[in-house]
């Protein structure tokens, strides 16, 4: 359970960003969480909500974009989202296919209301 | 309403510190491994077996992470190599700043090999880069052969899987072939070593692997210098 410390880091970044825009009110924080990031989106949401409640930023919504594990076929170069049970290329059936994405943990955007 | 595009890693600060550590390890010629597993899989025991096989004067050191107690550092210190405990006081993983702090008064130039034993946890340590050359994940037989599917992140990120406690195979339904297949489904081509720290089976292969990877890292460092 490291989502609380991640939420804290996230909140500090948002606070720094908010200080750079006096008068602006941050409404939504967008994050991208990959399936392989080791982060549970629900625990992150819960932690973020709990931390925000004690700050001047409240209420502040967290919009989480979940990213699946992505594989790329070495034979036909097709890129696809892999499911739990199947990492074979859906186009040519090739296996194994190397994983090329899905470990994202990124702050993507802030939605602000400016005066 | 205005949307400001930020696009930055949440762990940007940790990644920055880890990159600094990686550069220091490279410049000093230190090969650093980050050992990750659930609690009780045998990280400390593997390190005991590893350290006892080294000749006196081997340029090796260990940082060992735990939430509480100095027990692991005490176990490892008796081999005569530098060992330092990092107690996180509740944090379930090591972070780059903790490693940086723990190394502050060590001369990296005196080392060639550094083991970082992470806090026992298959989830959280996978998110934090510590500047290591590579991650090693341990999985022990009593844990079950489906762990790679349940905890894909760490099996994806680790370069080597060490299957430990092979001596317990006769007493559990653990299927070695299935464990290998599960790991390679998450991480095609993953290197896998099978050992028992109790009987010593497979430990020579582990030592050989370490030796080869150290030499490869040394060659690579010489090329970039």
Residue B6 lies in a domain: no
ipTM: 0.84
Number of domains in chain A: 1
Structural domain boundaries enclosing A58: 3-14+26-69+101-113
* Contact status of B127 with chain A (Cβ, < 8 Å): yes
Structural domain boundaries enclosing B99: 13-219
H-helix segments, A36-94: 41-52
Per-residue pLDDT of chain B (225 residues; tens, 9 = 90+): 899 999 999 999 999 999 999 999 999 999 999 999 999 999 999 999 999 999 999 999 999 999 999 899 999 999 999 999 999 988 899 999 999 999 999 999 999 999 999 999 999 999 999 999 999 999 999 999 999 999 989 999 999 999 999 999 999 999 999 999 999 988 888 999 999 999 999 999 999 999 999 999 888 888 876
Domain containing residue B63: CATH number: 3.40.50.300
Q: Which residues of A touch B7 (CB under 8 A)?
A: 106-109
Q: Which residues of B touch A2 (CB under 8 A)?
A: 91-93, 123-124, 127
pTM of the model: 0.91
CB atoms within 10 A of CB A54: 9
Question: Strand, helix or coil at B78?
Answer: coil
- DSSP assignment of B86-152 equals EE-TT-SS--HHHHHHHTTTS-GGG-SEEEEE--S-SSGGGG---S-SEEEEEEEGGG-TTHHHHSH
End-to-end CA distance of chain A: 38
Would you say B118 and B157 are in contact if contact means Cβ atoms under 8 Å apart? no
Find tokens 């790679």 and name the residue: B148
Would you say B210 and B218 are in contact if contact means Cβ atoms under 8 Å apart? no
Question: What pLDDT is stored for residue B221 in this prediction?
Answer: 80
Q: Cβ contact (<8 Å) for A2 and B127? A: yes
Residue A77 lies in a domain: no
The pLDDT tens digits for B17-27 are 999 999 999 99
Q: In this complex, how many residue pairs, one in chain A and one in chain B, have their CB atoms less than 8 Å apart?
A: 93
């Amino acid at each position: 359970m490291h989502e609380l410390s991640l939420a804290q880091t996230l909140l500090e970044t948002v606070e720094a960003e908010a200080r750079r825009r006096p008068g602006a009110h941050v409404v939504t924080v967008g994050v991208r969480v990959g399936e392989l990031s080791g982060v549970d989106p629900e625990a992150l949401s819960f932690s973020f909500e709990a931390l925000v409640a004690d700050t001047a930023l409240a209420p502040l919504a967290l919009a989480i974009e979940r990213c699946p594990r992505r594989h790329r076929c070495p034979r036909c170069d097709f890129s696809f989202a892999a499911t739990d049970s199947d990492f074979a290329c859906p186009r040519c059936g090739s296996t194994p296919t190397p994983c090329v994405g899905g470990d994202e943990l990124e702050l993507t955007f802030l939605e602000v209301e400016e005066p | 309403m205005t949307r400001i595009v930020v696009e930055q890693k949440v762990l940007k600060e940790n990644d920055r510190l880890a990159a600094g550590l990686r550069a220091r390890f490279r410049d000093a010629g230190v090969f650093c491994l980050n050992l990750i597993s659930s609690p009780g899989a045998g990280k400390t025991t593997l390190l005991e077996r590893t350290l006892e096989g080294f000749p006196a004067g081997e340029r090796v050191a260990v940082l060992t992470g735990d939430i509480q107690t100095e027990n692991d550092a005490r176990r490892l210190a008796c081999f005569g190599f530098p060992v330092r405990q990092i107690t996180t006081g509740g944090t379930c993983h090591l972070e780059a700043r903790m490693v940086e702090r723990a190394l502050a008064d060590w001369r990296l130039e005196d080392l060639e090999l550094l083991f970082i034993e992470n806090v026992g946890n298959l989830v959280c340590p996978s998110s934090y880069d510590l500047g290591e050359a590579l991650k090693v994940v341990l999985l022990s037989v009593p844990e079950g052969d489906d762990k790679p599917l349940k905890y894909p992140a760490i099996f994806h990120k680790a370069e080597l899987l060490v299957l430990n406690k092979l001596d317990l195979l006769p007493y559990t339904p653990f299927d070695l072939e299935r464990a290998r297949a599960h790991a390679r489904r998450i991480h095609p081509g993953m290197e896998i070593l099978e050992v028992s720290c109790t009987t010593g089976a497979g430990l020579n292969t582990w030592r050989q692997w370490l030796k080869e990877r150290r030499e490869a890292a040394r060659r690579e460092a010489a090329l970039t210098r």
